[in-house]
Amino acid sequence: MSPVVLHWFLPTNGDSRADLSLGNAVGVSGSRVTESGVERAPDIGYIGQIARSAEQLGFQGALTPTSSWCEDAWVITAGLTQVTERFRFLVAFRPGLQSPTLAAQMAATYQRISGGRLLLNVVTGGDDAEQRRFGDHLDKRGRYARAAEFLHIVRELWSGEVVDYEGKYYNIQGAQLPATPKWPDIYLGGSSPEALEVAAEHAEVYLTWGEPPAQVAEKLDRVREAAGRAGRELRFGIRLHAITRDSSEEAWAEADRLLAGLDPAAIARAQEVQRASQSEGQRRMTALHGGRTDDLEISPNLWAGVGLVRGGAGTALVGSHQEVADRIEEYHALGIDEFILSGYPHLEEAYRVGEGVLPELRRRGLTGQPALDPAGAPVASSAA
């Protein structure tokens, strides 16, 4: 079994100790933290502080989202490559908003200036209104079909050969990359049949949001079947928030504090937007809480409270460091190797996960890295 890999998240819509809707994938409020606001603006200094801290703590990379409410992921992470050393950047982007030839050129340049630290998260878009802000008027089925053509062309360009391609969405003639550095692995999520097929044929890593283990297992089986039909094998990742403390009681008290700070009007607005989404993944996330504000522990240590106001990933692992490690180990046993975690605020919570959960995973022998004693010397793994 492959080792557990932990990634973090860069909140390029701003950060907060209380507002779970910051970084909302569907832009409920239409606002973002600004330099004049009371919360933390997503300037290069603060986002860089998170990235550098996550790198030092042992996270291997970070996801940077895409939205009309976020800073551009390509630009901000290209800057961050210059203030980090090994840290990898999972850049979320939307195919169809630029040509595949240009995207391939950008990715190749990024790989050269970063030393091969680019990963790509393909987001087709699950909300028509959000897509129209970018001038994209294709429906959901069309967006996935276009993404398949896009990824096919990019991979062909990476061969170094001259590419001619004529499809429904692209007509490319005489395209070529002058030099092809390390291939940036493609990550793709989604719960619809279209999403699973595109991931099976074009991605290296299939991403799921944090559903209960039984639901995740069923979805991964469908992805494996689709990948088998395409003659491929995929790796798997999961996107979760985390509230981890020295004790379970402290962790749940923090979840209760965040829940108590939610405005009922904000919950109502968020639920209205979520219900209008065409995303099957969003529908599944919303169904986990159904808009209720009680009984939100939907599986041991899995809390659906974040999804009351935040679109996209709406569940959090809540518990002691050992309990959160237990849940990561449980998902890992299903075949998930990569965990993209986040917390509010992202700087402080990176330290809680990095100093609490990551050492526990090392102690169990799950990371492929030796556990260290307080003096920094390796200790024997307790894993059987």
Q: In this predicted model, what pLDDT tens digit does every residue of 315-346 receive, in sequence order?
A: 999 999 999 999 999 999 999 999 999 999 99
Predicted confidence at residue 32, as pLDDT, reads 53
Residue 175: beta bridge partners?
A: 163
Predicted confidence at residue 378, as pLDDT, reads 62
Measured distance CA(11)–CA(29) in Å, rounded: 16
Predicted confidence at residue 28, as pLDDT, reads 40
Angle, helix 100-114 to helix 73-80, in steps of 10 degrees: 10
Measured distance CA(162)–CA(180) in Å, rounded: 13
Q: Name the DSSP class of 191.
A: S
Q: Tokens 């606002």 label which residue? A: 31
pLDDT tens, residue by residue, 76-104:
999 999 999 999 999 999 998 899 999 99
Check pLDDT > 90 for residue 234: yes
CB 233 within 8 A of CB 199: no
Q: Tokens 């094998």 label which residue? A: 233
Collapsed DSSP state (helix, strand, coil) of residue 114 = helix
Q: Quick one: tokens of 270?
A: 């968020």
pTM, two decimal places:
0.92
Other beta carbons within 10 Å of 75 = 12
Domains and CATH numbers, the chain: 5-379 (3.20.20.30)
Measured distance CA(288)–CA(266) in Å, rounded: 18
Greatest Cα-to-Cα distance within the chain, rounded to the nearest angstrom: 62
Which residue in 239, 203, 236, 231 sits closest to 220, CA to CA?
A: 236
Q: Tokens 């808009």 label which residue? A: 291
- Of 109-118, 349-358, 375-384, the one with minimum mean pLDDT is 375-384
Cα 20 to chain centroid, rounded: 16
Check pLDDT > 60 for residue 204: yes
Angle, helix 213-229 to helix 321-333, in steps of 10 degrees: 30
Q: Tokens 């030099």 label which residue? A: 179
What is the chain's mean pLDDT, rounded? 90
Section 146-161 average pLDDT: 97
Q: Quick one: tokens of 294?
A: 């009680």
Q: Please confirm whether the linkage preceding 345 is cis (ω < 30° from 0).
A: yes
